């Protein structure tokens, strides 16, 4: 891994310049393996340059926005890096989104073009119609037999025929180009949400992107680049999957073994680790639970792993110990947010090694404070809100100056909204979440979105959604519903009906796994819903 050279090439300008250095140093080595197809770093560099030129030929200009509505596939990476080169802003969208979820992002991000897959066309068309948008649509798998990630398309003749108003992905090719970018120009615009309000676009700049990659490369600098082989089942639309599990090994000269989250299989994953000599794997709790529970666990040689990291939620100590004992490696955890372009803390290469129950120590260039309600820094061992500052922290929220101002202190620290404490060795521990986010199998579910959807149902007067424990997924959404006057719960409307209603309108992981009808929601004297009482089952005492 040529960290010094890469750092020199990436000190300013377009973040895609980092990958030019990679192609020069590791051009013939493997960059991406997906479905048996293999792409070298030189081939990846050539494809991204040509795609950048093709975007310009389609009329896209620097600072225009390209929405990526795709499953995990090599074209995702070509499109993302190609857009960077073209100076076009990349806005990733969850491929599980349906029309109503897409329409907001299409409007808010002022999307000029979309790269999608033929299997997702129906939802995209619906989203465009609801948003009254008119983006250029670039389609993977339209008429070319490519069915990667295609769970819905049938084998019917013409199912992937190319409509006249779309452009085939393979046709987006032009003279290679890399546009000069300023450090503060936006490169990536992912969307996140709090517990209230609309989703927020996170403005991540070329400087943010370079800083995060170079910081994490330095944190893993003892591993020569071409010896890094990363197995990715996490979704590329998510900041951890994109920045850390995919871009980090690629910019260092390593190889990415790209898989789809929907294809997750514990036996296949462990077999790939053994056969390909995988060195790095980042997974959510459910993946490690599946591996430990698999009958073949212990039959596969996992000794090639240099890092086995877990994110999204705390793992059972028993599962962690069983995996570590069999794999022969200590598992690591970390911490980061979309607003920080991924990790700010990691157990990897922390001073005293992994310390379970913590998120490790801050990465290089990350400054942290833990403060009380008045903004004063607390003592070691005391809890307070975690604040972070560093070159990878976002420039702000898209089109939301007030939310941006509220997110930062006067000294430039970002307010994470999470409660933490640190020990005398500077290891940090997340104690609680100030935001009521439900983390299910590594995915964030924002209760306000599901509640708003339930409120649209004719039979629902009020609804509150909370996370309840789940052995495999850590927690899952559960809805508490008060029906309208004159509606009989269980007769005029059933829990199964409301579950199905949600499942048809939002991504599968967001829908409530259980719906319970209650007479009234527990509230404070000021009328605020006491969600902790719903989660604890205390509402039944009223």
pLDDT band at 220 (very low <50, low <70, confident <90, very high): low
The rounded distance, in Å, linking the Cα atoms of 521 and 193 is 24
- The pLDDT of residue 447 is 85
Is the domain of 392 the same as that of 358? Answer: yes
- Measured CA to CA in angstroms, residue 307 lies from 222, 355, 359, 442 at distances of 12, 14, 15, 18
Is the domain of 429 the same as that of 442? Answer: no
Final residue before a domain boundary, out of 207, 239, 263: 263
- The pLDDT of residue 218 is 72
Residues ≥6 apart with Cβ < 8 Å to 527 = none
- Structural domain includes residue 112: yes
Q: pLDDT tens across 415-443, in order?
A: 999 889 999 999 999 886 666 678 888 88
- Structural domain includes residue 413: yes
451: containing domain: 438-541
Q: Look over the chain and give the mean of its residue pLDDT values, rounded to a whole number.
A: 88
- Structural domain includes residue 309: no
Q: Is 34 exposed, middle or buried (0-12, 13-18, 19+ CB in 10 A)?
A: buried
Is the domain of 377 the same as that of 521? Answer: no
Residues ≥6 apart with Cβ < 8 Å to 522 = 529, 530, 533, 534, 538, 539, 542
**Residue 496 token pair:** 């199964």
Is the domain of 422 the same as that of 495? Answer: no
For residue 361, the cross-strand partners are 346
- The pLDDT of residue 442 is 84
**Residue 333 token pair:** 């955890």
- Structural domain includes residue 394: yes
Is the predicted pLDDT of residue 189 greater than 80, yes or no? yes
Is the predicted pLDDT of residue 304 greater than 60, yes or no? yes
Contact assessment for residue 308 and residue 332, using Cβ atoms and an 8 Å cutoff: yes
Q: Total domain count for the chain?
A: 3
What single DSSP character describes residue 312? S
CB atoms within 10 A of CB 307: 21
- Measured CA to CA in angstroms, residue 8 lies from 4, 46, 378 at distances of 6, 22, 38
Is the domain of 246 the same as that of 394? Answer: no
Residues ≥6 apart with Cβ < 8 Å to 19 = 41, 44, 45, 48, 81, 250, 251
- Measured CA to CA in angstroms, residue 14 lies from 65, 246, 455 at distances of 16, 18, 45
Q: Which residue has the higher pLDDT, 12 or 318?
A: 318
Is the predicted pLDDT of residue 11 greater than 70, yes or no? no
- Structural domain includes residue 500: yes
Contact assessment for residue 49 and residue 81, using Cβ atoms and an 8 Å cutoff: no
**Residue 27 token pair:** 């051009």
- Structural domain includes residue 210: yes
- The pLDDT of residue 214 is 86
Torsion angle defined by CA atoms of residues 370, 375, 380 and 383, in that order, rounded to the nearest 10 degrees: -70
Is the domain of 461 the same as that of 429? Answer: no
Query: Would you put residue 530 in left (φ > 0), alpha (ψ -120 to 50) or beta?
Result: beta
The rounded distance, in Å, linking the Cα atoms of 206 and 394 is 10
pTM of the model: 0.83
- The pLDDT of residue 542 is 42
Is the domain of 355 the same as that of 473? Answer: no
- Structural domain includes residue 507: yes
- Structural domain includes residue 57: yes
Is the domain of 119 the same as that of 169? Answer: yes
pLDDT band at 355 (very low <50, low <70, confident <90, very high): confident
Final residue before a domain boundary, out of 243, 263, 283: 263
Q: pLDDT tens across 254-288, in order?
A: 999 999 999 999 999 999 999 999 999 999 888 99
Is the predicted pLDDT of residue 347 greater than 50, yes or no? yes
- The pLDDT of residue 187 is 98
Listing from the earlier edge strand, what are the strands of the sheet with 361-362? 37-40, 30-34, 255-258, 229-232, 280-284, 307-311, 332-337, 342-346, 361-362
**Residue 140 token pair:** 């993977």
Rounded mean pLDDT, 388-399 = 97
Contact assessment for residue 231 and residue 282, using Cβ atoms and an 8 Å cutoff: no
Is the domain of 181 the same as that of 67? Answer: yes
pLDDT band at 3 (very low <50, low <70, confident <90, very high): very low
Is the domain of 419 the same as that of 458? Answer: no
Out of 51-65, 258-272, 465-479, least confident range: 465-479
CATH code (residue 512): 3.30.300.30
The rounded distance, in Å, linking the Cα atoms of 104 and 97 is 11
Is the domain of 80 the same as that of 207? Answer: yes
Final residue before a domain boundary, out of 263, 298, 315: 263
Q: pLDDT tens across 110-119, in order?
A: 999 999 999 9
CATH code (residue 386): 2.30.38.10
- The pLDDT of residue 255 is 96
Measured between its terminal Cα atoms, the distance across the chain in Å is: 63
Rounded mean pLDDT, 1-14 = 46
The rounded distance, in Å, linking the Cα atoms of 191 and 135 is 19
**Residue 367 token pair:** 């400054």
Contact assessment for residue 386 and residue 372, using Cβ atoms and an 8 Å cutoff: no
Is the domain of 390 the same as that of 468? Answer: no
pLDDT band at 530 (very low <50, low <70, confident <90, very high): confident
CATH code (residue 160): 3.40.50.980
Is the predicted pLDDT of residue 158 greater than 70, yes or no? no
Listing from the earlier edge strand, what are the strands of the sheet with 474-483? 460-470, 474-483, 514-517
Out of 2-11, 92-101, 120-129, 310-319, least confident range: 2-11
Name the nearest CA neighbour of 398 among 199, 242, 184: 199
- The pLDDT of residue 376 is 96
Name the E strands within 200-262: 200-205, 229-232, 255-258
**Residue 103 token pair:** 């329409």
């Amino acid at each position: 891994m040529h960290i010094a050279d890469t750092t020199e090439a990436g000190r300013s300008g377009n973040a895609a310049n980092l990958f030019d250095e990679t192609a020069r140093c590791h051009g013939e080595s493997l960059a991406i393996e997906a479905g048996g197809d293999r792409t070298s770093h030189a081939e990846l560099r050539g494809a991204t340059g040509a795609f950048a030129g093709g975007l310009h030929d389609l009329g896209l200009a620097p600072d225009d926005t390209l929405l990526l509505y795709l499953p995990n596939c090599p074209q995702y990476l070509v499109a993302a890096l190609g857009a960077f080169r073209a100076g076009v802003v990349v806005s990733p969208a969850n491929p599980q989104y349906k029309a109503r979820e897409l329409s907001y992002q299409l409007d808010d991000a002022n999307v000029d073009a979309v790269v999608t897959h033929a299997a997702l066309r129906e939802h995209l068309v619906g989203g465009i119609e609801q948003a009254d948008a008119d983006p250029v649509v670039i389609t993977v798998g339209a008429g070319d037999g490519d069915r990667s990630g295609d769970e819905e398309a049938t084998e019917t003749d013409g199912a992937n025929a190319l409509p006249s108003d779309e452009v085939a992905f393979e046709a987006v090719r032009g003279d290679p180009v890399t546009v000069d970018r300023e450090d503060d120009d936006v490169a990536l615009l992912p969307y996140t949400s709090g517990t209230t309000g609309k989703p927020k676009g996170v403005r991540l700049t070329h400087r943010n992107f370079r800083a995060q990659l170079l910081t994490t490369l330095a944190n893993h600098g003892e591993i020569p680049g071409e010896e890094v082989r990363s197995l990715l089942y996490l979704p590329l639309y998510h900041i951890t999957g994109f920045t850390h599990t995919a871009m980090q090994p690629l910019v260092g000269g390593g190889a990415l073994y790209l898989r789809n989250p929907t294809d997750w299989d514990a036996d296949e994953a462990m077999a790939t680790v053994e056969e390909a000599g995988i060195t790095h794997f980042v997974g959510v709790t459910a993946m490690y639970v599946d591996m430990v529970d698999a009958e073949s666990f212990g039959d596969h040689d996992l000794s090639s792993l240099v890092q086995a990291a877990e994110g999204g939620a705390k793992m059972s100590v028993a599962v962690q110990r069983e995996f570590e004992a069999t794999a022969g490696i200590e598992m690591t955890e970390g911490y980061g947010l979309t607003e920080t372009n991924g990790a700010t803390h990691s157990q990897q290469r922390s001073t005293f090694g992994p310390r379970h129950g913590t998120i490790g120590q801050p990465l290089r260039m990350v400054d942290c404070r833990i403060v009380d309600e008045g903004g004063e820094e607390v003592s070691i061992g005391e809890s307070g809100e975690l604040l972070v500052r560093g070159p990878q922290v976002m420039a702000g929220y898209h089109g939301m100056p007030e939310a941006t101002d509220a997110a930062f202190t006067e000294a430039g620290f970002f307010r994470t909204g999470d409660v933490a404490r640190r020990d005398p060795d500077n290891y940090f521990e997340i104690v609680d979440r100030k935001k009521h986010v439900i983390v299910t199998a590594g995915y964030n579910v924002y209760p306000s979105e599901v509640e708003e959807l339930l409120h649209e149902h004719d039979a629902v007067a009020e609804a509150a959604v909370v996370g309840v424990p789940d052995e495999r997924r850590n927690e899952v959404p559960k809805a508490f519903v008060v029906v309208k006057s004159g509606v009989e719960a269980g007769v005029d409307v059933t829990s199964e009906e409301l579950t199905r209603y949600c499942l048809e309108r939002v991504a599968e992981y967001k829908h409530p796994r259980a719906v319970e009808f209650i007479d009234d929601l527990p509230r404070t004297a000021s009328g605020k819903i006491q969600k902790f009482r719903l989660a604890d089952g205390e509402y039944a005492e009223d």
